[in-house]
Structure 1
């Protein structure tokens, strides 16, 4: 089975479309936070960084009169559901191990509770790492989705993170 890299994911046209929509700089920063948290929490960095990079690819653009409507987003958003589906499909298309693709998709599904009824989730360590990484880069009223990054700089950062994660792809076959 092919070892799918962060670069493979990042450079795919589907990922590019949705990363640009949801905030490429936020996705990359979240992936870096996930790497550090994964090491600390003994979670597979490969799974954590992939889930963190793709965690917001399900975003829909909520606008009112041409302006971002944060309240409409908070009230109506189900981006984690759509993002989990998109990520799973993309990862399978790229040749990711199906079990790993499912673990990544579930971490994306559970990275936020914005669409769930009130209550606590019983998350596994991978899911907690992705949620914490996302929260570490959040800004008020969703402004973290609008941070800018040059495409070449973004690719360079992904390559650097991929290099850090690469040894863990060899060592760990299955870990959450």
Structure 2
């Protein structure tokens, strides 16, 4: 099992399918924010960025009379549950380390508690808190952040840059 890059994850057809629903722009922005937060807090940037990239892959679109119905979506939202499941399966398929895949999936599961009748704020690990905060930092009212556009080429450029930074950190740690 080697290192699975953000770009490899992004290019996979399953990722492409679900990020088209939840927004490539939002996924990449949250990934960049998560990288910055993880670096500042001395948390694992690899896990943070992978969880951030995939955090919304469980979204389902709710329409009423041909129009997006944000309120209906919020009433029935379980995207964190579906996203954690999809992300874990995808990461294992790509050859990700099983322990890392589980930690990433749990961070996705707990990046929001909107689907729960209680708060999990005080129970989040530092990694899970990073994903929560990164997501919140990129949000727009009524889910508008999911509709901002980004071409795949730009997403790949930005994710490649993050992959390079993560590799540099990893190389530095291995040489010490």
Q: What TM-score do the two structures reach when normalised by structure 1?
A: 0.94
Q: Name stretches of at least 5 consecutive residues in structure 1 with no aligned partner.
A: none
Q: Is the 8 A contact 2:27 2:55 kept in 1?
A: yes
**TM-score for both structures, normalised by structure 2:** 0.94
- After superposition, where does 1:107-118 map in structure 2 within 5 Å? 107-118=107-118
- The alpha-carbon deviation at position 144 of structure 1 amounts to 0.1
2:159 is equivalent to residue 154 of structure 1: no
CA spacing shift, 1:137–1:160, aligned 2, 3 Å: same
* Cα contact 1:44–1:168 (8 A) shared by 2: no
Task: Provide the C-alpha distance between the structure 2 equivalents of 1:171 and 1:55, rounded to a whole number of angstroms.
Answer: 28
How many Å apart are 1:170 and its aligned residue? 4.7
CA distance in 2, matches of 1:169, 1:54: 21
Q: For residues 117 and 171 of structure 1, what CA distance do their matches in structure 2 show?
A: 43
Residue of structure 1 equivalent to 2:65 = 65
Aligned to 1:132: 133
RMSD over aligned CA atoms reads 1.4
Runs of at least 4 residues off by over 4 Å: 169-173
2:119 and 2:82 mapped to 1: Cα distance? 21
